[in-house]
Structure 1
Amino acid sequence: MSTGSTSTARRGPGAKSAERRRSIIDAAHAVFAERGYNAGSFQAVADRVGMSQTGLLHYFPAKSDLLLAVLQRRDEVSTAAVDPTAGFAESVLLKARANERIPGVIQLYAVLSGESTTEGHPARAYFTTRFDRLRTGTAAELRALQADGLLGGSVDVAIAAASLAALWDGLQLQWLLAPGEVDVVACLRDYLDGLFARP
């Protein structure tokens, strides 16, 4: 098989469709980051990628599908902002700092997380899974630090993990309502300093 044929096979309709879908998600992420939840419309996203709303619906039949894809993209952006060599506390603070650059997406997250508590909401599974994964992953990291003697043995890692997630989301909500009065990073740093303080 020639090189040209291999290239064509690798970039067939499926690959082009995946690329198009990714470009729509990136555009939607940018739209919501700039305009927020209410002003971030399907039309604004369609305009940014140069297609009609009908074309957009081919990839995302419902607005909720696109919103969830944006939240998943937000998780990727947040993770990419962290140096792989960073420690636990530094990673948390770097992610929090990255979130400050996308207030509209954080607003989207805050709105949907609250709405997801309603039975049958399309975002319920996403948030249930996300919080479960977050609590489990954070507890595992804290447990490893505890085993290395970097975290006090009296700390209940499961409680600390759930508390950190709750604190972070609560701080972001306060920051959205009063951005000049609440410093999410400073508050998280204070909590983490207390968590890791040795008796």
Structure 2
Amino acid sequence: MIRFCDVLFAILGLTLGFPVLLLILLIGVFDTGAPLFRQKRVGRNRKPFTLLKFRTMKPDTASVASHLADASAITPLGRFLRRTKLDELPQLWNVLKGEMSLVGPRPCLFSQTELIEERYRRGVLAARPGITGLAQIKDIDMSTPRLLAETDAKMLAGMSLRHYFYCIFMTVCGKGAGDRVNN
């Protein structure tokens, strides 16, 4: 049932949100010249996939986890997109393709070996990564790999349709600060 909801909401989001997606894309051309951000991430069962987001940092920013990036790399549009979580909208395409779910553990980089190992030990990597999840609404980011993996495992163990909608509702209502960056 959760996969059905993922597909339904991804189709609705991409269709109804198309004008917003197009507007952000056009503004992004003037902000960075390259409004879409693509990056290889760890998917279900460690399978790589290409995550799609709106670019929030300068194109020459090092490809590191957000908590390791410098805050000065965030563009003016990027600051707005991160605050409103609109930078995540293109990931609905990843959801539609079956690479992600709306709710699940946030996909990490392959260079985040400690987090991958912590998630592997707890069975978290067997799930589709998500756009949001329990860790995000509790402001737990990838700078604390063990706590993040424990929270991800707890979320997956208690996953139900009710919990799925709870995480989406809390995210839409603004709960969670998103990925942190160095100040």
Whose radius of gyration is greater, 1 or 2? 1
User: Fold-level match, TM-score > 0.5?
Assistant: no
Higher strand share: 2
Structure of higher RCO (CA pairs closer than 8 Å, 6+ residues apart)? 2
Higher helix share: 1
- TM-score, normalisation: structure 2: 0.29
